[in-house]
Structure 1
Amino acid sequence: MTANKMTMQKHQKGIALIMALIMLLVITILGVSAVKMSTLDTQVAGNSIYSALVFQGAESALGKVMSESDLSNVDTAASTRTAVINVPDDYFNPAETVSAGATLNSRATVAFDGVLDSPVLNNVANSSEFQYQVFRVVAESRLTSSSAKDTHTDGRAVQIPKQ
């Protein structure tokens, strides 16, 4: 070896190793943050799906209870007038299995709210020989194995002769 090469080797302090370790640290930090962001995105997507499922479940339960072809739950509430009627759970059975054993459970209540003598039509009081019983229907849907739930409310007026 020449004297010039020997002096160059003595002046090197291992900067290449330090730079490689710094670059490795930066790449590791980027990789870990990418994995955490991916996990968070997956959780957000899952929660969005759960939210849509319970929304549709509550809407479906409300539609089933409010169906024109099946007013038995409203009729039951009409006969008691002061009670809140819990729609039997078997009315919504079988519970819908969503995935991985999770099920969508729905329930509903029908409550008598009062009697209207003359409902307002087009902002004008309507005098007629009928009264209207008003009911509030509340439907709730829950997804097992999660905290996802949704509640929907609707009303129903049933025409009856004036007393």
Structure 2
Amino acid sequence: MTESGWHKEIKGWGVEAEIRIGNRRADCYLRCGKRAEAQCRGLPSAEVTAREAHTDLWILNCRAAFRSSRLAVWEAPDLGGLFRWDHSWQGFAVAKRPVYLNLELNIHTGQGRFLEVTAWTFDGYRTVGTGQVHTAAAMRSWMRYDIPLTTGKPTVR
């Protein structure tokens, strides 16, 4: 199978790509020591569970769902980011590792947004949940240089 431009781009944000762990591999290694799996399509539950033995977090390419409004994200007072994903990748209901949904990413400019999922519930074909939006630049800096992702909210002193 040929690797997509998106997949190559995300792997390039880590400090090392294609990390072998036994007979499996993680897509990239982050400066903070975490192993990331970048995924462009849904997987069966059994495959998600198997891959979680060698990865610390998921980065899911949800750009098409976001463009077509099957994935909607909005801010709610006191709750932060909310999302609804119709025809979601149901196999990820078993995921135990942190998940980041790529909403937008222009590979040529590096501009885009990611949603860090803080909670989600799968119900039939729909997934709803909460999360925190981060810019592509913030994600890249976190993955490559271990610069913490921030909430973008003012710090109380």
Report the TM-score range of the alignment, normalised by the length of the smaller protein. under 0.3
The structure richer in strand per residue is 2
TM-score by length of 2: 0.24
User: Which of these two proteins has the greater Rg computed from alpha carbons?
Assistant: 1
The structure richer in helix per residue is 1
TM-score by length of 1: 0.24
